[in-house]
Structure 1
């Protein structure tokens, strides 16, 4: 019984290009009590592998968090499968505005301690006592209220290329880093201000809203479905779009344009740019913003040092990496001394 990927990313990419079939990029999450995450993981992998579903899925005792690419022809079957699982029936699917047949190249279903690395002890507060969910229209109205504090619950490399007008955008590397920092900044407004939060698809706000209510905030709101669903509602209902730039997404697209504004800059030359890339030196793999001109000049690398390494024959590159762990730069997305124009 196959419970793992047999094809490499390159092999899968070639097959997808050859088939040329439409695929839908989507995400969903659900907090639920899962007694045997390993068994559930295998159940998902077997079913979704047969449907040609690709993506990155985390399963834990507390629920599921999934980012997926589903063949358009199999979407009905996929939805029927989800509805057959009692805690996933009619679960909200955040379907991307832009689709790419190569948004994911493998099916990875992993068992984790948590579906979101939040660093919180869930036993210390009521995780079900969440903030008020609001749709795009109500969200826009809240933003017009002078008593609203708008907080971006994402990381620095996400908010750098796109965020809502007037939002607090914490300069953090991880979600867990943002929680205490935000509370410290707005602790004097626990009773008199509307605390309104948003993230990519909503999962971070689910936990954060309960955490802040536990900390004494009285008026807590969260954007239902996150930026992904907001963009869809704005488009379908012809609402004012208050989001500037791109929404960072965790697949091979790296970004989905919500407005034509370019609010960030190339980290190497400083010109307006909001295209995230990974350094071509696999030993570095740093995530950063790079314009087309710098990509050509630097051979898709973040530095001259990486450029020299990437130019070596593949076997020599492998020899240089042998016995070495991943560079911390991989996890310090966009933070490196070689990036002259990193904000």
Structure 2
């Protein structure tokens, strides 16, 4: 039995168009003790491939982290399968605010050392002693609480296009970078302030809340379900929306519109814009913000050099890439010097 993808992204895209079925973009996570992640990985792939599930799933001894696209008419079968797994029974599913049938084009289930790269020694603290989960209503109250400090646990390119009012948005490249930075900056408030955290779907805050309690913070809170669940509750219960801009998401959509406000700028011309793209030059693939005018002028590239390379015949481009490695780790997701209007906030700003 094949436990890997046999179709390219383009082939899968054509099949989705041909099927003409609506799909749901879903995310969930669960910290648990998984004895053999490889066997569990294979189990998930076999069952989800039969249900035409696509997405990116990480499995580790500490649990599972999943971002998925599921055919709407297979959702009940998908949910039944989740409920058949003891530690996933009744797990909260974050359903995307904006649906896109092509949010994922392959099924990738990977075994990792951790389900989120946090760089922590989990043996040094109890990950089950997490902070207080709060819903959208309580979170709105905490945002206005003078004794609360609201912290965005996401990376700089996520908070740049959208964040909560009054939130501190650390200028970091990784989740791990933010952990020590936040502790250092808030070390004088471990006793007297409420530490209130949020992220996309809740998974980063789940670990961080236990970590900060271990580090001596007495009042630790986290937004349950993250920005995705907050938005659902705000719309369903008609609460005040305190999120400004877009929520960055890790699929082909790259963002969900939460409010009409555009708080970011095109990295090439400086006009208001919050649309993330990847440079069309495959040897670069830099993630940055680009408006429609610049996309036309630059042929969807981040620089004149990349534009020249992208204009070459494909075989010539392949030769230029040969033996070279380019990744988002190298280009720091929007920190390239070619981007004239990339904002560079202070390391710990609000």
Mapping for residues 302-341 of structure 1, pairs under 5 Å: 302-327=302-327, 332-341=332-341
SS in structure 1 of the partner of residue 186 of structure 2 = helix
Gap runs ≥5 in structure 2: 344-350
Task: Indicate yes or no: 2:170 matched with 1:140.
Answer: no
**Partner residue of 2:232?**
232
Using the alignment, how far apart are the partners of 2:118 and 2:312 within structure 1?
A: 40
Does structure 2 conserve the Cα–Cα contact (< 8 Å) formed by 1:149 and 1:167? yes
* 1:240-279: CA deviation from partner (whole Å, max 9, x where unpaired): 0000000000000000000000000000000000000000
**Partner residue of 2:76?**
76
SS in structure 2 of the partner of residue 341 of structure 1 = coil
Using the alignment, how far apart are the partners of 1:20 and 1:162 within structure 2?
A: 32
Using the alignment, how far apart are the partners of 2:162 and 2:327 within structure 1?
A: 27
How has the CA–CA distance of structure 1 residues 329 and 86 changed in structure 2, closer, same or farther, with 3 Å as cutoff? closer
Using the alignment, how far apart are the partners of 1:327 and 1:70 within structure 2?
A: 28
Shift of 1:137: 0.5
SS in structure 2 of the partner of residue 82 of structure 1 = helix
Using the alignment, how far apart are the partners of 2:325 and 2:303 within structure 1?
A: 20
Using the alignment, how far apart are the partners of 2:97 and 2:64 within structure 1?
A: 22
**Partner residue of 1:219?**
219
Using the alignment, how far apart are the partners of 1:264 and 1:43 within structure 2?
A: 42
Mapping for residues 10-29 of structure 1, pairs under 5 Å: 10-29=10-29
Runs of 4+ in 1 over 2 A off after TM superposition: 327-331
Does structure 1 conserve the Cα–Cα contact (< 8 Å) formed by 2:287 and 2:328? no
**Partner residue of 1:32?**
32
**Partner residue of 2:99?**
99
**Partner residue of 2:284?**
284
Shift of 1:103: 0.1
**Partner residue of 2:347?**
none
Using the alignment, how far apart are the partners of 1:19 and 1:269 within structure 2?
A: 40
Shift of 1:18: 1.9
Gap runs ≥5 in structure 1: none
SS in structure 2 of the partner of residue 13 of structure 1 = helix
Using the alignment, how far apart are the partners of 1:275 and 1:314 within structure 2?
A: 26
Using the alignment, how far apart are the partners of 1:324 and 1:330 within structure 2?
A: 12
Does structure 2 conserve the Cα–Cα contact (< 8 Å) formed by 1:201 and 1:228? yes
Shift of 1:327: 4.4
SS in structure 2 of the partner of residue 114 of structure 1 = coil
Using the alignment, how far apart are the partners of 1:182 and 1:213 within structure 2?
A: 13
**Partner residue of 1:114?**
114
Shift of 1:144: 1.5
Shift of 1:159: 0.1
- State the aligned residue count: 343
Mapping for residues 288-303 of structure 1, pairs under 5 Å: 288-303=288-303
Give the CA RMSD over aligned residues.
Answer: 0.8
**Partner residue of 2:125?**
125
**Partner residue of 2:268?**
268
How has the CA–CA distance of structure 1 residues 328 and 152 changed in structure 2, closer, same or farther, with 3 Å as cutoff? closer
Shift of 1:328: 5.6
SS in structure 1 of the partner of residue 169 of structure 2 = coil
TM-score (norm 1): 0.99
Task: Indicate yes or no: 2:179 matched with 1:186.
Answer: no
